[in-house]
Amino acid sequence: EVQLVESGGGLVKPGGSLRLSCAASGFTFSSHSMNWVRQAPGKGLEWVSSISSSSAYIYYADSVKGRFTISRDNAKSSLYLQMNSLRSEDTAVYYCAKFGVWLSWFDSWGQGTLVTVSS
Amino acid sequence: QSVLTQPPSVSAAPGQKVTISCSGSSSNIENNYVSWYQQLPGTAPKLLIYDDNKRPSGIPDRFSGSKSGTSATLGITGLQTGDEADYYCGTWDSSLSGVVFGGGTKLTVL
């Protein structure tokens, strides 16, 4: 069974930094592309970033480009999101999600971790 | 403002059928596969439909997907109270080089 478990969320001040992690199990992590998707309180889904299986290809939403960095460690079956220069509008539940096929659909989701940016 | 346009809400009685539309453009829906997600209250999204009209294992055939040009549709038949949820469409946008979602549709089963 595929399991994706996010961690690292919390309360941070505007301008601060936070690093999210996603521990994957139940599938061959190194063979699959991964993503971060977020959802602001009471709002819809917003794609944040995608990374290919070997980290060769990475995409970011314009709203986070230059501030967030996605990475992965295939040896540890883990996905990361380094978030810098955080803004109040980054407040959201952040989901780790697995692509079924590169740049396609999200076939598995974690339970999410809440990031709150507030002074 | 979402790149893909969905109605904010739809409703129908138990046992009835409902459709949810998702409108986009040539850079997203028309030339890329569409997927649909169900998000029950307080839970993570779940894949319902992929590649426009395919169902993952475990998804009942009451759920169906279709696409024509720049629009896609999710159909749900035999509505149950347990289907009350938010539904999202999503696809790759070749111009934006990113995944785009609809704003979500809240389904109420009266």
- Cβ-based neighbours of B104, under 8 Å, separated by 6 or more: A44, A45, B6, B8, B39, B86, B87, B88
Whole-number pLDDT of residue B80: 96
The answer to whether B16 and B107 have CB atoms below 8 angstroms apart is: no
Smallest Cα distance from B58 to chain A, Å: 12
The region of weakest confidence among A98-102, B64-68, B72-76 is A98-102
**Cα B70 from chain centroid (whole Å):** 14
Which residue of chain A has the CA closest to B87? Answer: A44
Taking the Cβ of residue B65 and every Cβ of chain A, the question of whether any pair is shorter than 8 Å is answered with no
Structure-token pair, residue A52: 């290919």
Whole-number pLDDT of residue B1: 85
The CB density around residue B11, as the number of other CB atoms within 10 Å, is: 13
**Contacts of residue B35 in chain A, CB cutoff 8 Å?**
104-106
- Reported as type and span, the H/E element at residue A113 is strand A113-117
Strand ranges of the sheet holding B63-68, from the earlier edge strand across to the other edge: B18-23, B71-76, B63-68
Mean pLDDT of chain B: 97
Q: Given the DSSP bridges, would you call strands A78-83 and B98-101 parallel, antiparallel or unpaired?
A: unpaired
Whole-number pLDDT of residue A103: 85
**R_g of chain A computed on alpha carbons:** 13
Check pLDDT > 90 for residue A116: yes
Q: What are phi and psi of A109, to 5 degrees?
A: -130, 150
Q: What is the mean pLDDT of residues B7-13?
A: 97
What confidence category does residue A21 fall into, taking pLDDT thresholds of 50, 70 and 90? very high
Report the distance separating Cα B96 and Cα B27, nearest Å.
8
Which residue of chain A has the CA closest to B48? Answer: A107
Smallest Cα distance from B61 to chain A, Å: 18
Check pLDDT > 90 for residue A12: yes
What confidence category does residue B60 fall into, taking pLDDT thresholds of 50, 70 and 90? very high
Whole-number pLDDT of residue B61: 95
Pick among B37, B57, B99, B105 to test the A interface (most A CBs inside 10 A): B99
Whole-number pLDDT of residue A11: 98
**Contacts of residue B8 in chain A, CB cutoff 8 Å?**
none
**Contacts of residue A100 in chain B, CB cutoff 8 Å?**
47, 50
What confidence category does residue B17 fall into, taking pLDDT thresholds of 50, 70 and 90? very high
Q: A48-103, pLDDT tens digit by residue? A: 999 999 999 999 999 999 999 999 999 999 999 999 999 999 999 999 999 988 88
Whole-number pLDDT of residue A58: 97
